[in-house]
Amino acid sequence: MAKIVVLGAGVMGSAFAQMIADSGHDVSLVGTHLDGNIISALRDGKTHPRLNLKLSNRMAALYLHELKDTLGSYTDLIVLGVSSSGVEWAIHQIGKTLPKTTPILLLTKGLAVHNRSLRILPEVVREGLAVHGFKGIIVGAIGGPCIAGELAARRSTSVVVALPDGSMLESIIRLFSAPYYHARGSADLIGVEACAALKNLYAIGIAFPAGQLEAGFIAENEAKMHNLCAGLFTQALVEMQYIVSWMGGHPFSVYGLAGSGDLYVTCQAGRNSRMGKLLGAGVRYSEAKSQQMSHETVEGADLALTIAPAINFLLQKGRLKESALPFMISILDAICSDKPISLPWHLFYR
């Protein structure tokens, strides 16, 4: 039995912690400073406020001030379930309380910018913890089509665990033995992480047509826009392959669970799709965020705001080709420049 600590009691961190408990391990779910009501509910045996389910009582629900005590010298694995904007905060929390070098897995999806270029979050975590004296710490990530509500309901879920260290990768995968959690391994950490982040951005764009339909752009025979969505889905994969290869990842990951699999499930529902529908309906991003989604984290929009300056710089310097990213540029313009949606079909599929 392993001792595993999950930091972040949001929907994914909580659902993942329950899976760890179902796998027979000692798991502590530690809430952030924003999760107090969630931890209180779990301790009282109530439903998770955001998952609307009672979770396993075999996991310990802890407040943030209890993190230091639970991160004992016998902790085998730390899992980060914070938002992308909370990664730097999590590094600080772990760095000041961790008693020994411990492997870390990220459930967090996103990219960071360094020296006007793109980098994956595991690199940020590894280098951030090195500042706290933990050099060479092993940091991996989990990607793939995994909706937290389905995982919490113990629906079968397929994921990919990415870690360059083969022996450590196999050891970690063996920890996940819940019968409904189907994990496979990959050494392509860059590819898996880039896909996991980019699919949130592209899911916004793929939802444009659904927003047009909801706004009244209806055909006489009530035809839908599945053709259009499929074309956008394909363009997204083409552009994801370009970015993944440019960052040094393997293009195969784009057509695996972390890429096409996760993009598919993200397009079905959720906050990224909702934002895309609002934009497709003609609502500008600033209005959609401030008036209809002000209290919700839209990961694809957050990613756009984070990477847009770097993407524009790389395009200007010719390090990225504008002709290879017309769909991304349209989405970035809609979010970062508050422009109406434009789909440049004449530039697609080149």
What is the model's pLDDT at position 155?
97
The boundaries of every CATH 1.10.1040.10 domain in the chain are 190-347
Residue 44's pLDDT band (boundaries 50, 70, 90)?
very high
- Whether the predicted pLDDT of 16 surpasses 70: yes
Q: 190-347 falls under which CATH superfamily?
A: N-(1-d-carboxylethyl)-l-norvaline Dehydrogenase; domain 2 (1.10.1040.10)
State which fold the 3-187 domain adopts: Rossmann fold (3.40.50)
Q: How many Cβ atoms sit within 10 Å of the Cβ of residue 75?
A: 19
Q: Mean of the pLDDT values across residues 74-88?
A: 94
| Cβ-proximal residues to 254 (8 Å cutoff; 6+ apart), any chain | 191, 195, 237, 240, 241, 244, 260
Q: Which of 50, 36, 42, 39 is nearest to 296 (CA)?
A: 50
Q: Mean of the pLDDT values across residues 41-66?
A: 96
Interval 221-231: pLDDT, tens: 888 888 999 99
Helix (H, G, I), strand (E, B) or coil at 77: strand
Per DSSP, helices labelled H in 98-225 are: 121-131, 148-152, 166-175, 189-206, 208-214
The boundaries of every CATH 3.40.50.720 domain in the chain are 3-187
Q: What is the DSSP letter of 200?
A: H
For the entire predicted model, the pTM comes to: 0.93
